[in-house]
A = this chain, B = another copy of it.
Amino acid sequence: MIPLTSRFSEILEQRGVLLHFKRGDLIYGLDDPNDMIYWIKKGRVKLSYLDETGRKLALDIFGEGQLFGELSLTQVDKRELLAEALESTEVVAADRNRLLDQAKRDPRLMFEILNLIGSRSRSVQHKLEDMAFKDLPTRLARVLLHLSDTHGHHTPQGLQIDCRLTHQDLADLIGATRTNVTMMLSMFYSNGLLKKGRYITITDERQLREKGYGHKEQLN
């Protein structure tokens, strides 16, 4: 999770526009103009790639206080990702040109932008490493742990991921089929790693972390 830095939040509050989205609304789609950066005030947003045949790979699910659309701050004309509201969501949208104009006169803001983009770049690198080196159960364990960092809260039963996730959402996040995810989740439930419910709860974090260190037997 990238916390919203102080300069950024000031600027967004001064210059941003509040927008509301319903569950399932598209905030931006592929090839939309790359002219805004967004800060999530409330709700959750899924960022995904879509290939030419309509298959989806979800990059991440962001929550309250997180920024997305940050590549609009570099020289890119069109969006290469989709952003969808996973629930009722409020975002503050700021114009990239106004932000960059401001950043010219404000090196601190510029460094914050630089670090944001660097940090996102590294998280895409980590996802690429997972896709290359980790098998599906390991990827599923890792994505659940990652989601619990951003969306988790402790309950008497364990670490609950406060984000309604379908099996397809999880499949999109790890590049698997829905059927595979259903199978792996059953395994995790019966091994006592997770507890089923309206939200997924991690009941044995230590064992899930161990699973998250696994490797692919063989590169495909």
Question: A179 CA to B139 CA in the complex, in Å?
Answer: 25
When C-beta atoms are compared, the residue in chain B nearest to A125 turns out to be B124
The answer to whether B133 touches A131, judged by C-beta atoms less than 8 angstroms apart, is: no
The answer to whether B132 touches A177, judged by C-beta atoms less than 8 angstroms apart, is: no
Q: Does A114 contact B (CB under 8 A)?
A: yes
Interface residues of A in 116-133 (CB under 8 A from B): 117-122, 124-125, 127-129, 131-133
Residues from chain B with Cβ under 8 Å of A129 in the complex? 49, 51, 57
Q: Does A206 contact B (CB under 8 A)?
A: no
Over the window 183-220 of chain A, the binary record of Cβ atoms lying under 8 Å from chain B Cβ atoms (1 yes, 0 no) is 00000000000000000000000000000010100111
Question: A107 CA to B105 CA in the complex, in Å?
Answer: 8
Q: Does A71 contact B (CB under 8 A)?
A: yes
Q: Tell me how far the C-beta of A44 lies from the nearest C-beta in chain B, rounded to whole angstroms.
A: 21
Q: Which of B104, B118, B128, B176 contacts A128 (CB 8 A)?
A: B128
Q: Does A55 contact B (CB under 8 A)?
A: yes
Q: Tell me how far the C-beta of A195 lies from the nearest C-beta in chain B, rounded to whole angstroms.
A: 27
Residues from chain B with Cβ under 8 Å of A49 in the complex? 125, 128-129, 132
The answer to whether B55 touches A219, judged by C-beta atoms less than 8 angstroms apart, is: yes
The answer to whether A51 touches B133, judged by C-beta atoms less than 8 angstroms apart, is: yes
Task: Pull 23 A–B residue pairs with CB atoms less than 8 Å apart, ordered by A.
Answer: A49-B125, A51-B132, A52-B215, A53-B215, A55-B132, A57-B132, A71-B118, A74-B115, A75-B118, A80-B122, A104-B107, A107-B110, A110-B114, A114-B114, A117-B117, A120-B121, A124-B125, A128-B131, A131-B131, A131-B175, A175-B220, A176-B220, A177-B219
Contact surface of A with B, Cβ cutoff 8 Å: 49, 51-53, 55, 57, 59, 71, 73-76, 80-81, 100, 103-104, 107, 110-111, 113-115, 117-122, 124-125, 127-129, 131-133, 136, 171, 175-177, 213, 215, 218-220
In the complex, given contacts A53-B215, A75-B119, what are 18 additional A-B residue pairs having Cβ atoms less than 8 angstroms apart?
A: A49-B128, A49-B129, A51-B215, A57-B132, A71-B122, A73-B114, A73-B118, A74-B117, A76-B118, A76-B122, A117-B117, A117-B118, A121-B121, A124-B128, A127-B128, A131-B131, A175-B219, A175-B220
